[in-house]
Amino acid sequence: MDVKKNTINVVMLPWIAHGHISPFLELAKKLTKRNFHIYLCSTPINLSSIKKNITKEYSQSIELVELHLPSLPNFPPHYHTTNGLPHHLKETLVEAFFSAGPTFSKILQTLNPDLVIYDLNITWVAEIASSINIPAVQFLTFSIGMIVFFLHMFSKPGVEFPFPEIYLREHEVIQMQQLAKGYSKFNIRDTFIESIRQSRDIILVKDFEVKYMDYFSQLVSKKIVPIGSLVNNSIDQIDEHALSITQWLDKKEKGSSVFVSFGSEWFLSKEEIHQVAQGLELSKVNFIWVIRFPKDEKISIDDVLPQGFLERVGERGMVLDKWAPQSTILQHKSICGFVSHCGWGSITESMQFGVPIIAMPFYNDQPINARIVEHIGVGVEALRDENGKLQSEEIAKAIREVVIEESGEGLRKKAKELSEKMDMKGDEEIDGVVKELVALCHNK
């Protein structure tokens, strides 16, 4: 600890996805207001994209530290992020990141922090920190419902899971098995368990469901410390692109529109895009839809949308093929629903702003997150067919229930209530986090 200033110096290492880096950065901002100095470590391509989010207020207390991944064939540095990464390169990215231990070790030895905060599945961080007597604490940016589902499955095979609302459908199980095969050489199961086990005494979580946190604590014999939603409430910087979006929304009635976005990592097939388009058309609801394509692929919106779609929806819809100011859009008075892939960051952001969710999960933790959204009563899932295919009629039905139908009044009300409840907590949870981290640094 810096005795002169009594400042606690922390190195943070999230997984190199925006949905992980963003909550780490928001946590960093909150900690710097409580006498912490943060070194946020990631690849240069990721750091260049978040620099704009570090305002003058934080420029002295949050330092960005470049983590250079090992050089691999046909894998240049602009691919060192999940954002827009072609699917066939995801395994290569994991391999490169898992090989970055020696580089990170040099960073730790140079900075000599009081504490390291690390992400899920990165076992070498805690090992390196422990070797030089630095405590390492895990911060989980996933839903704890998802964490306990898999932890229970791995550690208590054959024992009934205590939360029946959380489950996977048959097509999701098959997809999960196929995904695991693709990463078999990394032994994800063991790294998942080991990275949790290595966290010193406590685990930080971005969640609010007490029953899942209690069971997590029981499974791992550690104190689980909730950290709050870590959603940036400020309106995104308004450039010309963002201004055109807000001006379009300003013309729509209050609570009449949905925002449609599936994150920065999942790219819909042409067939899936057609089903979503037809669902939006059938719903008769206003929408802003962000369609993402992999890096380096020369595809345009016109190439993938159904013929005549834009003409038929007219002023009712806006379709974008680039970044959109999600926080600004979700806070707009005309937005009454978020058609989402159910990444946990998007879900907590939607909850923070009181926007109910039309759940369209694709892979990984997303199906379980969709079950949680329905269970707590702030969203509806657009059901797929038995083969896991999107269905335009179900998409339209879910959108109309959330935005228009009387049957959705309860979830619209619940979404607002949950937002108010999250606001009321304020800094209560982060103060608890600070207390735990300070104690850990004093006792190392």
**Mean pLDDT of the 62-71 span:** 95
Q: Is the pLDDT of residue 374 over 90?
A: yes
Buried b vs exposed e over 149-171: b needs ≥16 C-beta within 10 Å? bbbbeeeeeeeeeebeebeeeee
**Mean pLDDT of the 174-198 span:** 83
Q: Give which of 61, 69, 68, 66 is closest to 10, Cα–Cα.
A: 61
Give the whole-angstrom CA distance, residue 330 versus residue 258.
9
Q: Is the pLDDT of residue 239 over 80?
A: no
**Mean pLDDT of the 305-327 span:** 94
The strands making up 62-66's β-sheet, listed across from edge to edge, are 62-66, 36-42, 8-13, 115-118, 136-140, 202-205, 223-226
Q: Is the pLDDT of residue 236 over 70?
A: no
Catalytic residue selected from 18, 37, 80, 119? 119
Domain 240-422 has CATH 3.40.50.2000: yes
Q: Is the pLDDT of residue 238 over 70?
A: no
Q: In the chain, what's the furthest Cα-to-Cα distance? A: 67
Query: Catalytic site residue 20?
Result: yes
Q: Supply φ then ψ for residue 75, to 5 degrees.
A: -140, 70
How far is residue 218 CA from its own chain's centroid? Answer: 25
The amino acid sitting at 20 is H
In 276-387, DSSP assigns E strands to: 286-290, 317-320, 335-340, 357-359, 379-381
C-alpha distance from residue 79 to each of 46, 91, 202, 221, 297 (Å): 10, 12, 33, 38, 13
The pLDDT tens digits of the residues spanning 28-55 come to 999 999 999 999 999 999 999 999 889 8
Check: CB of residue 413 under 8 Å from CB of residue 349: no
The residues facing 428 across adjacent strands are none
Predicted pLDDT of residue 392: 98
In 330-436, DSSP assigns E strands to: 335-340, 357-359, 379-381
The residues facing 63 across adjacent strands are 39
Give the whole-angstrom CA distance, residue 126 versus residue 138.
9
Query: Catalytic site residue 303?
Result: no
Catalytic residue selected from 18, 20, 37, 341? 20
**Mean pLDDT of the 344-357 span:** 96
Predicted pLDDT of residue 4: 44
Q: Is the pLDDT of residue 3 over 70?
A: no
**Mean pLDDT of the 199-216 span:** 96
Predicted pLDDT of residue 234: 65
How sure is the predictor about 235, in pLDDT bands with cuts at 50, 70 and 90?
A: low
**Mean pLDDT of the 230-258 span:** 86
Predicted pLDDT of residue 2: 52
The CATH architecture that domain 8-227 belongs to is 3-Layer(aba) Sandwich (3.40)
Q: Which residues contact 232 (CB under 8 A, 6 or more apart)?
A: 22, 26, 53, 327
Token readout for 237 is 């910087």
- The Cβ of residue 306 has, within 10 Å, a number of other Cβ atoms equal to 14
- The Cβ of residue 188 has, within 10 Å, a number of other Cβ atoms equal to 16
Mean pLDDT of the chain: 93
Give the whole-angstrom CA distance, residue 433 versus residue 398.
38
- The Cβ of residue 16 has, within 10 Å, a number of other Cβ atoms equal to 25
Predicted pLDDT of residue 242: 87
Quick check: helix, strand or coil at residue 7? strand
Residues forming CATH 3.40.50.2000 domain(s) in the chain: 8-227, 240-422
The pLDDT tens digits of the residues spanning 322-346 come to 889 999 999 999 999 999 999 999 9
The pLDDT tens digits of the residues spanning 120-158 come to 989 999 999 999 999 999 999 999 999 999 999 999 999
**Mean pLDDT of the 244-248 span:** 95
Q: Is the pLDDT of residue 1 over 70?
A: no
**Mean pLDDT of the 169-190 span:** 81
Token readout for 84 is 């827009």
DSSP β-ladder status, 223-226 and 115-118: unpaired
